[in-house]
Amino acid sequence: MTQVNEDILKQKVQRWIVMGSVLLLVCKFVAFAITNSVGILTDAMESIVNVAAGFISLYSLHIAAKPKDEDHPFGHGKVEFVSASFEGILIIIAGGSIIFEGIKRLFIPSVIEKLDIGIIIVAVSGLINYLMGAYSIYTGKKYRSMALVAGGRHLQSDTYSTIGLVAGLLILYFTRIAWIDSALALIFGGIIVITGISILRKTIANLLDRADSELLKGLVEVISRNRQVYWIDIHNLKMIQYGSYYYIDCDLTLPWYYTIKQGHEAAEKLKEIILAGYSEKVQVSIHSDSCNEKYCKHCGIQDCLYRKFPFVSLLPFSLKEITESDEDRDEK
């Protein structure tokens, strides 16, 4: 699938999620109007966040799909992390509002009516939320969209809190103990705040280009499985994500006697192997270094005419070794 088609698909998925979130928002506020339960209000309030975050994510996916230009040489993919950050902030605000309302209801209780109807509406809404969230996460992971993954996790966290909310509402329905309604608001308001903080921490880390160890491990495994004998060493590996795109650069150590053509072909082979695992969504930059005597013990080329020391073992292509910079190695 081409990148253009992937971007269209991501936007289509997000549009359906936004439409579903708007429908659920209306249903939950109807349930609150019928029951006057602050517990149900917590679910309705979070739905406002779902809708707002959904529109933000949809806009960010539209911006992220734009091709790179003179002012944005790495593309517009970072906007997905910005949108996910906004979503985290909105979730925290919603959770705080719910906690406030729960505390207020402890001191100013209200009459709760037709709770059975409200429980049914909340339960069905929670199931729909879970299915939408699962599809959003699946699509986001498949096409490496932080906006879709963050949105999906938010929807699913909403579902998990809904399960607890329904259980609490059932207890309230059978016991008619008024303070249970406020307790539900405080508990699930706190859960919502924690969810927002979690999303915010992850997106800030991505905005600051924090190294993703899982992505790097996957890349190291791909390189190790396809190792060529003339790749004496690979180090200074960096991998940065911009939306659905990855930018990778590294230093490749080759035999010093290689011609420019041979060096270029060796680097192209490494690039070809990396691209095979990430399709056209990766831009790879490889800097070639020439070997010296210290590499003889780790050079697997059998017919090298310039070897100074006998071969001992290949240098390991581990995550630690392959990501070390020249400065790190000089300090050893």
Tally of structural domains, the chain: 2
Same domain? 175 vs 269: no
Same domain? 203 vs 217: no
Out of 55-69, 130-144, 172-186, 250-264, the most confident range is 250-264
Domain range for 191 is 3-207
Same domain? 186 vs 239: no
What percentage of the chain's residues is helix, strand, coil (to nearest 5)?
70, 10, 25
R_g of the chain, CA atoms, integer Å? 27
Higher pLDDT, 168 or 255: 255
190 membership: H or E segment, kind and range: helix 179-207
Residues near 224 by beta carbon (within 8 Å), at least 6 away in sequence: 317
3-state SS assignment for residue 140:
helix
286 membership: H or E segment, kind and range: strand 282-290
Question: What is the pLDDT at residue 1?
Answer: 46
Same domain? 86 vs 220: no
101-112 average pLDDT score: 73
275 membership: H or E segment, kind and range: helix 260-278
- pLDDT tens profile 42-100: 778 777 777 877 777 677 666 666 666 555 545 555 566 666 677 778 778 877 877 88
Q: Which of 315, 231, 215 shows the shortest CA–CA distance to 270?
A: 231
Its sign, for the CA torsion 106, 111, 116, 121, is: negative
- pLDDT tens profile 120-170: 888 898 888 888 888 888 887 777 666 677 778 777 777 777 777 788 788
Pair 288, 270: CB distance under 8 Å: no
Same domain? 98 vs 224: no
3-state SS assignment for residue 175:
helix
Same domain? 140 vs 101: yes
Q: How confident is the model at residue 331 (pLDDT cuts 50, 70, 90)?
A: very low
State the DSSP string of 12-61.
Answer: HHHHHHHHHHHHHHHHHHHHHHHH--HHHHHHHHHHHHHHHHHHHHHHHH
What CATH number did the domain enclosing 15 receive?
1.20.1510.10
Residue 214 is encoded by which pair of tokens?
């899982």
170-198 average pLDDT score: 79
Same domain? 193 vs 232: no
Question: What is the pLDDT at residue 149?
Answer: 77
Same domain? 189 vs 239: no
Last residue of a domain, one of 158, 176, 207: 207
Q: Which of 109, 257, 94, 256 shows the shortest CA–CA distance to 191?
A: 94
Same domain? 21 vs 103: yes
Same domain? 39 vs 136: yes
Same domain? 224 vs 181: no
Q: How confident is the model at residue 260 (pLDDT cuts 50, 70, 90)?
A: very high
Pair 28, 51: CB distance under 8 Å: no
